[in-house]
Amino acid sequence: MLELSRVRAGHWEGIWAGAEAPDLQVVHLEKDLPDLSVAQTEPGKWALRLPIPAELLSDGVQTFLIRKDGETLTHFTLVTGEPLEEDLRAEIDLLRAELDMLKRAFRRHCVETGA
């Protein structure tokens, strides 16, 4: 199980909890990224580290998938570029509208069921 995931100094880092070293793949745009290092830090804990290739960093949203046996466990996303500021605001507005709709539906459900 992945306990920690962060990007620091151009590297993705994670902590894996498990008896054995994990066999993980990091995928960007359906291409495996090489150089994922796995080192045991203590019994049952494994430090994961992957340098993020500079050529993958460009304006826009870049999503990296962490996979084990073909199944996506988690992901990390890098957002860069000034034009995205307005896109992010629009996305937040959509999320707020969705949350408001869910709140109304939940309240209606509570009234209808007497909860």
Q: What is the pLDDT of residues 48-65, one digit of tens each?
A: 999 999 999 888 888 999
* 9 within 8 A of 2, measured Cβ to Cβ: no
% residues pLDDT > 90 (the chain): 52
Kindly give, in sequence order, each residue whose CB lies less than 8 Å from that of residue 53, ignoring residues fewer than 6 positions away.
Answer: 33
Radius of gyration for the chain, computed over Cα atoms and rounded to the nearest angstrom? 19
pTM given for the model: 0.68
The predicted pLDDT at position 31 comes to 92
